[in-house]
Amino acid sequence: MGVIRLVLLGLVATGAEGGACTPVDSCPKLSDGLYCPVNDVTEHADINRDVALIKRYLDDPPDYAMAKEVYTMGNSSSKGLGNMRTLQDLALKDMTVDGKYTNVFYTGALNLYNSTAAIWHNYIMACLDNTTFCQGQSDSFRRYVVNKALIGVVTAYATYEFGAAVWKGENGQTADGQAAYAWDEGAAFYIGNIDPVLGDGFSGAAPGNLYSPYEFNWKRDFDYPDGVNTHQASIPILNYGLINVRGSYNATNVKAAELAMYKIFSIAAIRSAIKYADKAYNGGTMEPKYLAEGWAYWRSASGYMSNFNATAVEAVDALFDLSQTSIPADTPCKVKTLVESLYPHLGITCAMVGKWKDATTGSCLDLPCDDAGNSATLLAGSDAYVDMCKATTTTTTGSSETSAVGRAALPAAGALAATLALSCQ
């Protein structure tokens, strides 16, 4: 039993107890079923359940009061000791922690929109409360602003965790419970842990029930079938980040992974802007909910992109102005031209973005996009997933059963903790 006590002391000494899994090598996976966290980030991933719950409350007939309660008070994601993690907290987070962490994804948005609350929170509250720009708008418009804005809130929060991992790595905090924990949290926020109702969480069509940024990216992958498959690309990128903050810190590689995730978020925002500009125009009969959807998804990375050319980003913002009551016919073309001007700066290409599958033949959205002089690449990452998500073997009276650690079968953490505690005595 001395060995176990030593192991436990070791965990305490390295500060690894924060997110340690029980047992340590049986961490639960996320919705994708591939990325293996080295910490238990179940509660972090659970914030996507709040996004799903708000969406359900806003389905017809919408219950704005209950949706607001979930937004402001939380429901599924616990921080321990009775404290809930809330989407509102995420939306209002200073993601640099007073300048301690570097996060150009967030500071770009802050510079563009002038305050943290003005990025998402004020919009979400206005549509939950039927005030300011959202007053008197249709339920579908209000619902789309809130539901899609929340995806942006969680996307941004993933970047907060990546920035925290970089800071911890730079400061030598490379134990599993330190930089790797922050990185795992980023992956958890981004991917979520809801069991896909359809498929394996990685291939085929998006299951539709994950409500995470990862699933949002996945839906755009389907809309742009000849472009890069961003949701699938993200998993080895996230793993590459993890293995380069874990044990020892490789700044070049971790920052490459962080940048690659920014590129993926940008591609998803750009694809959405092109698609929903056209759907909002709707052949001349404006569809307000698609204006809301385009606005929110574009905004999910607009702040980051404004670091490269704020003028171009502000021009796209104006095209998605939520106070519009009609959409000019040339809006989709303008959006396409503006976003394409950003690709070389973002380190992405036309080939990566791909062509929207529903672009009307002969329309400007159908025109080729030119990669001349742009040879940007997307980090491949690593599919050497870490070995911390092993099946657990639990022994109960007279029978032995093995359960796979994954989305469907969470380890019986409580029972195993009890076993471990007993064996220490």
Ligand X SMILES: *[C@@H]1O[C@H](CO)[C@@H](O)[C@H](O)[C@H]1NC(C)=O
Point out which residues bind ligand X (CB under 6 A).
Answer: 53, 75, 113-114, 130, 135-136, 250, 252-253, 309, 311-312, 315, 338, 341
Tell me phi and psi for residue 61, to 5 degrees.
Answer: -80, 135
- Min CB(45)–ligand X separation in Å: 16
Cβ closest to ligand X, residue 253 vs residue 374: 253
Cβ closest to ligand X, residue 25 vs residue 139: 139
Point out which residues pair with 399 in neighbouring strands: 396
Within 10 A of 98 (CB to CB), how many other CB atoms are there?
6
Rounded to 5°, angle at Cα 355 from 354 and 359? 165
195 DSSP assignment: P
Alpha-carbon distance of 143 to 160, in angstroms, equals 26
User: How distant, in Å, are the alpha carbons of 35, 83, 187, 207 from that of 197?
Assistant: 19, 30, 20, 6
Cβ closest to ligand X, residue 122 vs residue 229: 122
Residue of 175, 178, 183, 133 whose CA lies nearest to 158: 183
- Min CB(258)–ligand X separation in Å: 14
Alpha-carbon distance of 10 to 4, in angstroms, equals 10
Q: Sign of the C-alpha dihedral, residues 173, 175, 180, 184?
A: negative
User: How distant, in Å, are the alpha carbons of 87, 93, 233, 270, 297 from that of 59?
Assistant: 19, 28, 32, 27, 19
- Min CB(345)–ligand X separation in Å: 7
Cβ closest to ligand X, residue 21 vs residue 125: 125
Cβ closest to ligand X, residue 253 vs residue 403: 253
Cβ closest to ligand X, residue 36 vs residue 312: 312
Alpha-carbon distance of 68 to 48, in angstroms, equals 15
Cβ closest to ligand X, residue 67 vs residue 327: 67
- Min CB(26)–ligand X separation in Å: 26
- C-alpha dihedral over 171, 174, 177, 179, to 10 degrees? 60
Cβ closest to ligand X, residue 380 vs residue 424: 380
- Min CB(294)–ligand X separation in Å: 17
- Min CB(321)–ligand X separation in Å: 11
- Min CB(216)–ligand X separation in Å: 23
Cβ closest to ligand X, residue 169 vs residue 411: 169
Residues ≥6 apart with Cβ < 8 Å to 238: 35, 183, 186, 187, 190, 191, 257, 261, 381
Report the SS3 class of residue 212.
Answer: coil
Cβ closest to ligand X, residue 247 vs residue 283: 247
- Min CB(77)–ligand X separation in Å: 10
Point out which residues pair with 393 in neighbouring strands: 402
- Min CB(394)–ligand X separation in Å: 28
- Min CB(131)–ligand X separation in Å: 8
Rounded to 5°, angle at Cα 338 from 337 and 339? 95
Residue 214 near residue 190, CB atoms below 8 Å? yes
